């Protein structure tokens, strides 16, 4: 039987599969550049309107990318600046914890960035998409099949059939787009699980994010408006069931102990959520009429809060390349065009993944040698301000080449 051709209204320049933060930001940027875009989001967006422990700490140029979407005035009152980044090594129980503070004024900035709750960021992005006449946002829409032809890509979903000149996978670690493109994956488990929740506390956080380095993994609290913080707590897989089964008051006590009472008395605002940690790197970012970005392309430990910052650089570069290509009259799905994206992103992804994996390996280890090496490294940073400045600048603005949106320039 001959398959019925899709209706004209279901034809787009770009189809984005995945409604996470990277996919929604990319849709906003492309929509503003005049592309017709559909976004297939398998999730129910109403779930993200409920407060949870999931937040994103966005640094430096990542904030400029978010501002370029036009949502900044709508979220500014619900986010918190990151005025101090603190690292604490308290892995050696017999000696005092070692602490070092990084301050933005040392590199000529007023803050490092902002911590933004998921339940604030995602609804604001969706609202922005819905206000654009050239974007179709499709919630609760799963893609079951992707077929690539020389000129277009056809997506079969539970909400109809759609075609596009280019499909972009921002659909996470189990990406169906990556599978359809037959792009191989390098994947390894950390043997760790992350837990997150929101807490209220009796002492002010002074807009400070503190990352405690411990043998099981980092324990981090990140500030939110008021006396509220989000917790990201990493432990070895085998220890997680015991923590998740704790009674509420016992879990509050454990969080208070791990924060070294810096926040005073702690009260849970949300139940903890958890997910296993893996390092994941796609061997390629492109295939004919297909590109990968965000966690469809890479994922790693939350230590250092680098994940979404890396993903936003993906979408900023991709939006820039596609916009330039369209202005030149090129085919945006052509491999020559997409190869520019892969070329510009490979080094940043590889070096950031290598750095985070090695930092996590060094931190999440209780051998005497590595414990001593960690403390020596922190003492060295404390003694040499220039070294701290280099480290802070690289964390905020990695050497990734010129990305227009990170220079506050238009696409």
Residues 6+ apart with CB under 8 A from 118: 21, 48, 52, 54, 55, 56
The pLDDT assigned to 167 comes to 98
Q: What is the mean pLDDT of residues 132-154?
A: 95
pLDDT of residue 2: 34
In a domain, 395, yes or no: no
Could you give the dihedral angle defined by the CA atoms of residues 304, 65, 284 and 287, in that order, rounded to the nearest 10 degrees? 160
Q: Is residue 177 part of a domain?
A: yes
- Is 97 within a domain? no
The stretch 260-283 carries a mean pLDDT of 94
Q: Is the pLDDT of residue 102 over 90?
A: no
Helix boundaries (H) for 3-145: 21-32, 61-68, 72-75, 118-130
Lowest mean pLDDT among 19-28, 121-130, 165-174, 299-308: 299-308
Residues 390 and 384: beta-carbon distance below 8 Å: no
Does 241 map to a domain?
Answer: no
Which residues neighbour 14 within 8 Å (Cβ) at sequence distance 6 or greater? Answer: 30, 35, 36, 37, 38, 164, 165, 166, 167, 168, 322, 332
Collapsing DSSP states into helix, strand and coil, what is residue 301? Answer: coil
Which of 135-144, 255-264, 347-356 is the least confident region? Answer: 347-356
Over range 215-229, report the average pLDDT. Answer: 93
Report CA torsion sign: 221, 222, 228, 233: negative
Half-sphere exposure of 186 (CA within 13 A, CB side): 11
- pLDDT of 152 reads 95
The answer to whether position 254 is within a domain reads: no
Is residue 7 scored above 50 in pLDDT? no
Model confidence at 199: pLDDT above 80: yes
Domain assignment present for 285: yes
Would you mind telling me the total number of residues written for the chain in this entry?
Answer: 411
Each residue's pLDDT tens digit, 367-389: 654 555 555 666 566 665 676 66
| 41-50, 195-204, 230-239: least confidently modelled range | 41-50
What percentage of the chain carries pLDDT values higher than 70? 87
Q: For the domain that residue 54 is a member of, what is the CATH number?
A: 3.50.50.60
Residue 183, pLDDT score: 97
pLDDT score at 1: 28
d(CA 78, CA 125): 14
In a domain, 268, yes or no: no
* Range of the structural domain that residue 12 is part of: 8-79+119-187+279-364+401-407
Instruction: Say how many domains are in the chain.
Output: 1
Note the pLDDT of residue 3. Answer: 35
Q: Does any domain span residue 262?
A: no
């Amino acid at each position: 039987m001959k398959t019925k051709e899709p209706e004209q209204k279901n034809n787009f320049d770009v189809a984005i599969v995945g409604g996470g933060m990277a996919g929604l930001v990319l849709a906003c940027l492309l929509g503003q550049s005049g592309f017709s875009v559909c976004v297939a989001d398998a999730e129910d967006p109403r779930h993200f309107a409920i407060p949870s422990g999931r937040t994103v700490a966005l640094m430096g140029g990542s904030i400029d990318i978010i501002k370029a979407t036009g949502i900044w005035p709508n979220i500014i009152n619900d986010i918190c600046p990151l005025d101090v980044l603190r690292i604490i090594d308290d892995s050696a129980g017999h000696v005092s914890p070692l602490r070092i503070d990084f301050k933005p004024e040392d590199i000529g900035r007023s803050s490092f960035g902002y911590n933004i709750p998921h339940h604030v960021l995602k609804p604001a992005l969706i609202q922005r998409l819905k206000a654009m006449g050239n974007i179709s946002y499709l919630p609760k829409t799963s893609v079951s099949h992707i077929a690539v032809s020389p000129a277009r890509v056809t997506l079969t979903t539970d909400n109809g059939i759609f075609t596009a000149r280019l499909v972009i996978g921002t659909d996470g670690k189990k990406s169906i787009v990556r599978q359809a493109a037959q792009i191989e994956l390098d994947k390894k488990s950390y043997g760790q699980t992350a837990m997150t929740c929101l807490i209220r506390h009796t002492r002010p956080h002074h807009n400070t994010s503190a990352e405690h380095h411990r043998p099981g993994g980092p324990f981090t609290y990140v500030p939110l408006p008021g006396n509220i913080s989000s917790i990201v707590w990493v432990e070895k897989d085998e220890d997680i069931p015991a923590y998740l089964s704790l009674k509420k008051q016992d879990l509050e006590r454990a969080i208070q102990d791990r924060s070294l009472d810096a926040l005073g008395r702690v009260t849970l605002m949300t139940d903890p959520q958890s997910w296993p940690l893996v390092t994941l790197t796609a061997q390629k970012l492109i295939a004919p009429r297909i590109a990968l970005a965000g966690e469809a392309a890479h994922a790693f430990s939350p230590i250092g809060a680098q994940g979404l910052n890396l993903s936003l650089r993906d979408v900023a570069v991709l939006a820039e390349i596609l916009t330039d290509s369209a202005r030149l009259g090129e085919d945006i799905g052509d491999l020559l065009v997409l190869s520019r994206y892969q070329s510009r992103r490979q080094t940043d992804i590889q070096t950031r993944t290598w750095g985070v994996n090695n930092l996590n390996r060094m931190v999440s280890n209780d051998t005497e040698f590595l414990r001593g090496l960690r403390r020596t490294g922190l003492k060295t940073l404390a003694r040499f301000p220039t070294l701290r400045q280099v480290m802070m600048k690289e964390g905020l603005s990695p050497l990734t080449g010129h990305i227009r949106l990170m220079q506050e320039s238009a696409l």
